[in-house]
Amino acid sequence: MNNYYQDLGVARDASAEDIKRAYHRLARKLHPDVNADDEAEDKFKKVSQAYDVLSDAEKRRAYDAGSDPYGGASGGFGQGFSFSDVMDAFFGQGAGGAGRGPRSRQRRGQDALIRLEIDLSQAVFGAERELAIDTAVACGTCHGNGSQPGTGTRTCDVCGGRGEIHQVQRSFLGQVMTSRPCSACQGSGTVIANPCFECAGEGRVRTRRNLKLRVPAGVDTGTRIQLPGEGEVGSGAGPAGDLYVEVVVTPHETYQRRGDDLHCSVELPMTAAALGATIKLDTFDGMIDLEIRPGTQPGDVTTLKGKGVTHLRGTGRGDLLIHAGVQTPTRLTTEQEDVLRQLAVLRGEERPEGRLTLSSQGLFGKLRDFGKLRDAFLGK
């Protein structure tokens, strides 16, 4: 059996990248177009054959287990026989299997997933972004066929161009014939005689490309945008998979999103909360005048309709909810203290008495709610 590891000059535990680099190095040195030595062509064929086996995970496993796809097909009896072989013999090549005969080299590419960070304003109104993505594209040197320009494919020596291997095996039913895709040519019936230097016979290479994306208004963290046909190009320049863009909305310093509503807090001086005021508020729609009504209490909420996030599905927008906070002064001048004391006298609050109230958030509130639940359960 051929020693493909020795032909490429790599160890048996070499990685896929090590094997690829070794092939590229030897191919540039031994290719007949650059090396006129009589032995160079034979060596190049051996190197290409070795790379064809070791660059394919399935072929490499079979080779490491003692099977050589270029050493002739095995047609023994009773070797590797399984119940599926019996089914193949009576009903064809496996339930739902591929049809007989050579298969196309083209394979659909895999889907790709990338993450895109946007800010909250872009989520509110939508945006157009330019993406830089690394994916497999058709090789520009061989245009996807995997062969060095000016060369092509040759008929597979193992299957004779049929794309499948027929085996006669002995079973409890007698002799049965089964068919399997040829591991040497992956069922295509042909092998690449001179793999392309650029893509090593894959018909595709990885490259970075730019893509414009329209981010719809209303997206949120976790939303995935599907771009059909923008994923990985398949081997043999097969159709590309899809590209999925997963959106991540970065936190905003002022606004918090809850569904399609936006929330923010406004800290008011004690005097403004008591007397009322008009303050400037910077929203995603620009600066607005926000009216603070006299007697505003901590926790009061002012709702601005239609100033929230655009609905992703449907029309309209959510609301903007502004939560009021009241700042109590901690440092007062003597004059300020005198003024407040005069106000307390005028309001009859120079000797205030605290009122105990039940809060649904506190211990008393929980006890009250428990009492109501108990009465409802007992039918009181």
Q: Given the DSSP bridges, would you call strands 112-118 and 243-249 parallel, antiparallel or unpaired?
A: parallel
DSSP-based three-state secondary structure for 8: helix
Judge whether residue 193 has pLDDT over 50: yes
Specify whether the CB–CB gap between 115 and 246 falls below 8 A: yes
Q: pLDDT class for 53, splitting at 50, 70, 90?
A: confident
Q: Which of 233 and 168 is assigned the larger pLDDT?
A: 233
DSSP-based three-state secondary structure for 373: helix
Average pLDDT over residues 287-308: 94
Judge whether residue 281 has pLDDT over 70: yes
Q: Which two tokens stand for residue 283?
A: 């929203």
Average pLDDT over residues 181-206: 86
Average pLDDT over residues 127-152: 89
pLDDT at position 46: 85
**Facing residues of 168 across strands?**
177
Judge whether residue 131 has pLDDT over 60: yes
Average pLDDT over residues 346-353: 79
Angle between the N-to-C axes of helices 38-54 and 16-30, in degrees from 0 to 180, rounded to the nearest 10: 160
pLDDT in tens, 311-340: 998 889 999 999 999 998 888 899 988 998
Judge whether residue 243 has pLDDT over 70: yes
Q: Which of 1-15, 98-112, 164-178, 250-264 has the lowest mean pLDDT?
A: 164-178
CA torsion 78→81→83→87, rounded to 10°?
-90
pLDDT at position 310: 95
pLDDT at position 185: 82
Judge whether residue 26 has pLDDT over 70: yes
pLDDT at position 191: 87
* Phi, psi values for residue 248, rounded to 5°: -125, 120
Judge whether residue 249 has pLDDT over 80: yes
Give the full edge-to-edge strand order of the sheet including 256-258.
256-258, 261-269, 320-327, 301-304
pLDDT at position 95: 39
Judge whether residue 357 has pLDDT over 90: no
Q: Which of 286 and 46 is assigned the larger pLDDT?
A: 286
Q: pLDDT class for 375, splitting at 50, 70, 90?
A: low
pLDDT at position 377: 43
Specify whether the CB–CB gap between 309 and 319 falls below 8 A: no
Average pLDDT over residues 184-193: 84
DSSP-based three-state secondary structure for 290: strand
* Beta strand extents in the chain (DSSP E only): 112-118, 127-138, 153-155, 164-171, 174-181, 190-192, 204-215, 224-227, 243-249, 256-258, 261-269, 277-283, 286-292, 301-304, 320-327
pLDDT in tens, 57-114: 888 888 887 777 665 444 333 334 444 444 444 444 443 344 456 777 778 888 999 9
Judge whether residue 132 has pLDDT over 60: yes
How far is the C-alpha of 377 from the C-alpha of 37, rounded, in Å? 98
Judge whether residue 43 has pLDDT over 90: no
Number of H helices, E strands in the chain: 9, 15
Specify whether the CB–CB gap between 49 and 70 falls below 8 A: yes
Judge whether residue 364 has pLDDT over 80: no
Predicted TM-score (pTM) of the model is 0.60
How far is the C-alpha of 317 from the C-alpha of 306, rounded, in Å? 5
Average pLDDT along the chain: 81
pLDDT at position 99: 46
Taking alpha carbons only, the member of 280, 291, 285 closest to residue 308 is 285
**Full set of structural domains in the chain with CATH:** 1-72 (1.10.287.110), 82-90+100-250 (2.10.230.10), 256-351 (2.60.260.20)
Average pLDDT over residues 255-269: 95
Q: pLDDT class for 168, splitting at 50, 70, 90?
A: low
